[in-house]
Amino acid sequence: MITEQGQEFAPLTLALTTTISDKKTAMAKAIPTTPYEATEVLPYRGDVPESVISEMFPHLLDALMRHIQVERDLEDVDFWNIAFLNWRIEAEEAYTDVAALLSAIRHAALDRQEDLPLQRMACLIDSMIGSEEPDAFQRLHCRLPRFETLFRSRGYGTGSKRVERMLMDTHACIDELATLRLYGGADFDMDSLAFEPGDQLAA
């Protein structure tokens, strides 16, 4: 449970100060040494090797979409009706899968610069769906556009473009999550955003 005022914005504060060491960044650079014509078995295509985080993130997106779907299905039925017990179990399993992947990404080592916005996004989502504060998800969701530069890939290569696509898909998932009853949905009072802690981060 969040016990200190504004602590739900910790992922955004952390994102402002998180860096990757020069050593790790250098190790992550893919430098081809074999010409394309030298081998037909493993042709060089200029691809950037996947990092641990970039390999896990598509699985997180799949888990988020499943979580959204099963929660939306539950909104159309009597949640406590024993006939829908299996639906509730499926929803719990879907949430558990999301939580496990978020934890794994949050604690994974940063192998390259493009991992940073992905890890920041995982930290943010973890705070949004894991908070016991009733309106924490909606408050963070409404403020997300103010900090969008923290969740962007700054590179220009193939790997950076792929990361940027994953981040865009994640934004879409967050927008869908925000419509669910589980996370406040239409019940959120937009007027409650006035003078909330964390506004100074956008300055």
Query: How far apart are the C-alpha atoms of 171 and 178, rounded to whole Å?
Result: 11
Query: How far apart are the C-alpha atoms of 46 and 36, rounded to whole Å?
Result: 10
DSSP H/E element including 141? helix 136-143
10-residue mean pLDDT profile of the chain (203 residues): values are: 48 47 42 42 51 95 96 84 85 96 96 93 94 86 88 80 93 94 72 48 39
Instruction: Provide the pLDDT for residue 125.
Output: 96
Query: How far apart are the C-alpha atoms of 171 and 176, rounded to whole Å?
Result: 9
Instruction: Provide the pLDDT for residue 26.
Output: 39
Instruction: Provide the pLDDT for residue 80.
Output: 78
Cβ-contact 137, 184 below 8 angstroms: yes
Its pTM stands at 0.69
CA 115 to chain centre: 12
